Structure 1
């Protein structure tokens, strides 16, 4: 069990100078358990082997971005090692203050900030950058899984409209016309922190990979209810081809469908996120 006594024991053994700080349980998702450590730090521990690999990606690659990006990211402060009590590497991170964007949406003026952040992130990655089979890939590689969900959601909701399905098909048939770059890979609104309307942090970088920028551009529809703000994000990013825009809409549909399907079977928070994404797309197509 990943609990406060385990965190204390790991700290006492590996980072004893931090072991006297108060520990507070925050959340446990499918992949990770999160604890607050004092006022300025947090502890993130993988709950399963596949998540442990994603934590290692963050530990290896996030330090190269910490001074490069215009929005704070959780660059690892300390790294924990596996031992007899716990089998994976784990991280001590700076505490980023804010509320996830599914609970407090960013102000429309943050659309330009997000676009500048993405532009700064989307730089060529080295040959040994992590590769994903789920993010940044041609949408045709995700088609079977997404279309299975679409068929299921057609029975459960009215959001699988003809225009959404047509836009999905267009995106599937639109080739990637850009070079691969670094991408976050999982920029849904629970991975974006907001404070007083300002984007205060981008978290959960385990899916970072080298791939198609359209994957990250899908965040525009996940974050901003204001149509003008979405247009501002697209124009501020600059030089987005029509093909990339079509793929970005396809990725937004993919995320919306995955979130909605997950929400209807698991967590209602995901239901809301998926609905918002698909409804905003419907306004723009």
Structure 2
């Protein structure tokens, strides 16, 4: 119910201030015998899930996504604060989830048989959590900008959907899903955002954390997502070896 409340409250305020379409809630339903959970209706947005077939120019796409993130992060908080329904662990600090992520690394070391270099990934993660914690101001966060939550039209970013993780917090984790995109998009994104080295290293650590926990949590129940997580982690390893 908290997700429905925050989306109904904040999306109509954020939408007019953003350079791409986002969901527009038009009705919030209540539980009933026919469907015993809260539900909602959103205005339809045309578009195609982001993929190599839907995007012709990945560098332009990366710049478009960076522009969206920049605009979202620069919207006034309008009195919103990091508490209750606007609190989301990816907007906090890396140290805050160190214990959980360490357990996921342990699980993957014990069970991972795909050749994934878990040791190097954990070293990159450890390097990040030893750095100073973020001191930047809190900003609005989408919370889950992976390709499944992005829509393309005419080869470019058209809309950003699924604001169920909308929150207020530190920005580093917001950049993590760029490792789900091809290298030209990632490089264009970095160039457009001009992220400092500290934030970039923290963003990479968040990308590792989500990927390693995804493999551990969904290994036997969501194979497609596990494949996505492995692909992300391999991209991080390749990037780390060349950057």
Q: Do both proteins adopt the same fold according to a TM-score greater than 0.5, normalized to the shorter chain? A: yes
Which has more strand, going by share of residues? Answer: 1
Contact preservation (8 Å) 2:28, 2:38: yes
User: So what's the TM-score if we normalise by structure 1?
Assistant: 0.73
Asked if residue 210 in structure 1 is aligned to residue 150 in structure 2, the reply is no
Aligned to 1:231: 187
Structure 2 CA distance for aligned equivalents of residues 102 and 55 of structure 1: 28
Contact preservation (8 Å) 2:62, 2:189: yes
Alignment of 1:46-57 (within 5 A): 52-57=1-6
Query: Aligned pair in 2 of structure 1 residues 73, 137: CA closer, same or farther (>3 Å)?
Result: same
Which has more helix, going by share of residues? Answer: 2
Gapped regions of structure 2 (runs ≥ 5):
none
Asked if residue 125 in structure 1 is aligned to residue 80 in structure 2, the reply is no
Asked if residue 94 in structure 1 is aligned to residue 50 in structure 2, the reply is no
- Deviates most, 100-109 or 270-279: 100-109
State the superposition RMSD in angstroms: 2.2
Count, aligned residues? 231
Q: CA deviation at 1:233?
A: 0.3
Q: CA deviation at 1:161?
A: 3.6
Alignment of 1:156-235 (within 5 A): 156=112, 157-174=114-131, 175-195=133-153, 197-222=155-180, 224-226=181-183, 228-235=184-191
> Larger relative contact order (C-alpha < 8 A, sep ≥ 6)?
2
Larger Rg: 1
User: So what's the TM-score if we normalise by structure 2?
Assistant: 0.85
SS of equivalent to 1:65:
helix
Q: CA deviation at 1:166?
A: 1.5
Structure 2 CA distance for aligned equivalents of residues 87 and 161 of structure 1: 42
